[in-house]
Structures are given as C-alpha cells and as structure tokens.
Structure 1
C-alpha cells in the first residue's frame, strides 16, 4: 500500500523534508540545548525558549528537540528547552522564560486553559509565541502567531477509516494522559468513523500500570480485535499485553520510534500514523527566527500541518534508515 497522505505539509522554505517520516529515539539531546552552537546565518544571536509537556522517557520528544536544535544551529539561536507534564508547572516555565527576557517562545498547548495566562503574559511583554504539537483548536483564540502540527481529529478519522477497511470488529483506543486535548481528539476522530471504538484511559507516567490496565481490559472483553495506541511506547506495551493473554488483537499506533520500526517490520505492529515531530520542532524555532529577523508569519492565519501519514510494511524501509540516524 502506497504512503497515504491525509494532510498537506507546508515548509518554511529553508528545509527540504521528505513526506514520509516517523518518530525515533533520536539519541540524547545536546546537553547545551543550543543545537551545537554556531549558526549559518548572519543575523544577531537571539535566545528562544521551547517549553513542552514532555513526559520524561517518551522518545517522541527526542525528535522534537533534534529538529529544534537543527534549526537553532542554522539560525544562530540559543535554544533553551524545558518541559513539565503538569500544566501548571509548564505555565510556570513559560513565566520563567518571560522573566529571563527571551526573544521568542515556542510552546505546546496540551491543556490550553492552564496555559492561557502565561501565554498572554508573554504577548503583553511583546514576546512572540508560536505553538506546536498540541492546541490546534485553541492557539488562535489565545493570540498565538502560528501553529505547527497535525489535526488530531482528522488523523483519528483516518485511523477509523483504516480499521473499517481492515475489517476490524471492535477497537480499543488508549489515552495515556486524560485531559490532553490532542490525544482526546485523536480517539474522538477514530470513534467518529469507526463507532465500535471504546476509549481506555491509562496512566502514561507508569508503564507497568499501563500494561496491567490493557491486560485486564483484554481479559475482560475478548471481542476487542484492534488496539489503537497514541504513542510508540504504549503500542509496544500493548503488544506485550496482547501476547500475555493470548489475544489476537492487532496493534496500530500514532507516532513511532526506532523500536517501533522493528515492530512494524516484524508484523507485531500493523502501522503507525506519522506527524513528523522533527519537523514540528524545526518549524517552531525557525518560524520565530523568521518573524524576529524579517517579520515573516507562516500559514496565513491557518495551522501549518505536519501530518498525518501512514507508515506500514509497504514503506517502512524508506524511513528505517533515517530512524537509525536519529532524525525520523
């Protein structure tokens, strides 16, 4: 099956990007947080903060950081990366960035209500803010200049269509962080086009608990024949749960990493929905540099979509090499 594009990707004009990509462990982010130092542009050095809701250990964010660091190196930017999965703490990190007089802020909006005051405070001080990865429905109302990511609901609809096409009977959609607007939009999209979908909330900060919760559900309901995970680590855990109880349920997922590439090759995971995290991190930083150095705004008031696309056995070889290199 050829690579299925579900949404357009708008580039920044400075990075040539293949339309097939996936998440990866990405290697350890650079300790200095400045993308390796040294730029290839002649604009004055500036400081940009990137603040995410990353849960430690989730390999998805390694790719986001690698993209951000790549853009920072090109743009002569000092990148200050910080993260906290708790929304109030993430908002405090935004305020700390404001207080340190950064020139721009890139932020994820997994829980927009908790982030609104901090974002408004940055804007009131004249610090431009762009959003990425989460907050598709909230960013414009918050006054954020640009947004980079996929539409979670549309991506979920694509998954539901695929489940129907594969003849699935009942799906389990696993949300690892309750209240996260993009994760909930994904499962809502799945359910919209594949109504025989049950949503299961798990504690994504405790992987043994995730496995036991999925295992218990599979034992309780033998009619589940497809598990939809919303992140690569959770898909791999779902594979173990299914094997542990002798379930024949197939597993599909959003996002991937190097281990998931191998799982797709082996047939343990059927497919992954790619939102190009490297590109999200790259564009978030590069867009701020473009705005601060030349007044450019990307997207014309609309979100810049970085996905989604399906990766499966038909095209996994095209991305496997990049995953090993830590850029996909």
Structure 2
C-alpha cells in the first residue's frame, strides 16, 4: 500500500499468507516517498522466523522450558501461539524517514504480531495532517485495531474520533499520554515525558553540570517540549532550548557547533533522540567544547558511545516494548476485552543507562530490540 506524500509499508506475520493480495510492495517516489519491494511470503516468513528465533535463543539460554519450546515452534515455521482469528492491526507514527528508533518499535510490534496471529500494517509521516490521513486510510480498510502516536495531538483528534465512531479500538504509543484517554484510546504505552525530563535534570545534577542545551529537533512535538521542561524543573543549573531542523543533520551539527563556539560555559548537551547524539558529539569536537553529550533513547550507536565514553548517559524508554505491548494489548482487548493501565499510561520508562550497562545493552541493540 502506498500513498502520495507518505511512506507506507505493509507487513504481515510469518507463516500465514494473505490470500487477498500478492505479497509484494511497490515504492513510489514523490514528495519524499521511498518504496520497498517485498519478495514473497516465504522470504518474509523466513526473515521473521530468523529474527524471532534468534531472540528466543537468548531467552532459552537463561532457562525455562517454555522459552525453548517457543523457540522450536518459531523455528518450525513461525506459527502463531494462539488460535484466534487473523485480525489486522495498523500502526501510524509521526516518524520521519531513517529514524532508527521506530525500527525498534516495529521490531517489537512485528514479533508480537507473529505470536498473536496478527496481520500488521505500518505507515508513518512526520507531517501531522498526513499522519491523520493515514489513520483515516486504515479506518477505510476496516482494520481491527489501530496503534497511533500523538506527537501533535490537536491534528490527530478528529482521526481518533472517526476510529471510535467506526468501532475500531485504538491504543496510543510513545507520545500523547495526556491526551490519550480523552481522545478515546483504550490506553497509552510509553514513558511520561515530563518524568523522563525530570530524571535527566537529576542526573545532570549528580554529574555536577551547570549549564546545558536541550536540542529540540521537531518543533511542535509536545513530548519534546515536555522533556526539556521536565529537565529544567529539576536541574539546578541553567538549561536553554536550541531548536534545530531534525530532517537536516548538517544543519543540526552546525547549529549545535555554533552555540558551543559562542558559549564555552555550556558543559552538557542533551539530544532528544538517539540519531542526534552522534551528531552532537561531532559538533562538540568541531567546536573544541568539552561539553558532555547525553541523549534520550537508545540504539546500537548510542550503546557504543556509552561504552567508549563519548556519551555520558542515555534515557531508555524501551521502544521495543512500546511496539510489542501495543499489539499484545490490542489482541487482549479483541480476545478478552482486557484493558491495562486503569486509566493511566502503561509506562515503559524512563531508565537512565550509563557506561556500566553498555556491554549488555550493546548486545541487545545489535539485534534490534533495544
């Protein structure tokens, strides 16, 4: 499935073909659209089985007959662990192209989809109006459940209302925890961004920092604003916001570099996403600054940066869990009318990680689950 101006990718659980459509995807170019070609259900099944099997091998090595049995079942053909109907769930996020954070979210969602016999669809656009249209497209397809982010909640309110009117259950993830319930979602899976920001401020205090930059790479993203505000609340020093164009990494680097060159008193730089941490390190080096670079979110590069000492700490909100739990909770709702959270978000973070945890986290990051 493709849409003009958007990048849309359809995936489905291994071992269960979709009789209603050929197993291929077309990539159309235009307005930043990039298309992918998928090469048949057997290839897709093999890839997903390999990923699921590899992750379960790690679990079985730590004990448990259930984990070993699950690994063997996956190796035998990626069959679902349940016999419920083959429902279709669609996820729509505010991700831009190339953001590795969302690869990890999808990894969790896809593995839960295999287990729960779910056909999983994914689409994204960093423009809020386009994101809302993608939600509408899933409503038109009459999917059985929708997972959506609310980075810019006002633009998404109408789409969620239409889903509710159509009787399609919705779970929000990652951003928009404050709006999730009043917009009609079952629950929210993610971290409280203000609390996460407060954890950053407290960690900066422990490290004796006095002046920090908070790098906002997406203007209008309420979660980003909440992170920086939370950090300011608990940080004993002075924190300033620096807005950059997150879709242009050279601009990100030059903007951070220029600020560090003009203000040598800055001793900490906090980025709000893992892909920007390495760029901030390069900017500090070019500026001749000794400012410590810290970041929200984790990926393989961040784990390596923590290990080498290029980064001070990271705030992990466990994106793999956000994707996995969202699919699992929708399945539980469809199967048994279960709802978790009791009206409150199901929190996946924050967790402050440092060099001490780098070795272990690097292993998980390499396999795409942290």
- C-alpha RMSD of the superposition: 1.0
Confirm or deny that 1:73 pairs with 2:114: yes
For residues 159 and 14 of structure 2, what CA distance do their matches in structure 1 show? Answer: 29
2:193 equivalent in structure 1: 152
8 Å CA contact 2:194–2:227 kept in 1: the answer is yes
Structure 1 residues 1-328: aligned runs within 5 Å: 33-38=11-16, 39-194=80-235, 195-328=237-370
For residues 36 and 187 of structure 1, what CA distance do their matches in structure 2 show? Answer: 41
For residues 220 and 135 of structure 2, what CA distance do their matches in structure 1 show? Answer: 20
For structure 1, which runs of at least 5 residues remain unmatched after alignment?
A: 1-30
* Higher helix proportion: 2
Equivalenced residues, count: 298
For residues 136 and 99 of structure 1, what CA distance do their matches in structure 2 show? Answer: 26
For residues 35 and 192 of structure 1, what CA distance do their matches in structure 2 show? Answer: 44
For residues 234 and 41 of structure 1, what CA distance do their matches in structure 2 show? Answer: 40
For residues 175 and 196 of structure 2, what CA distance do their matches in structure 1 show? Answer: 13
For residues 241 and 165 of structure 2, what CA distance do their matches in structure 1 show? Answer: 39
Cα deviation, residue 36, structure 1? 2.8
For residues 303 and 262 of structure 1, what CA distance do their matches in structure 2 show? Answer: 31
Structure 1 runs (4+) deviating above 6 angstroms are none
8 Å CA contact 1:130–1:288 kept in 2: the answer is yes
Cα deviation, residue 318, structure 1? 2.0
Of the two structures, which has the highest relative contact order with CA contacts closer than 8 Å and spacing of 6 or more?
1
For structure 2, which runs of at least 5 residues remain unmatched after alignment?
A: 1-8, 17-79
For residues 37 and 202 of structure 1, what CA distance do their matches in structure 2 show? Answer: 44
Cα deviation, residue 58, structure 1? 0.8
> Which structure's CA Rg is the greater one?
2
Q: Bigger shift: 313-322 or 127-136?
A: 313-322
SS of the residue corresponding to residue 142 of structure 1 reads coil
TM norm structure 2: 0.79
Cα deviation, residue 35, structure 1? 3.8
8 Å CA contact 2:13–2:117 kept in 1: the answer is no
Cα deviation, residue 32, structure 1? 5.3
8 Å CA contact 1:34–1:78 kept in 2: the answer is yes
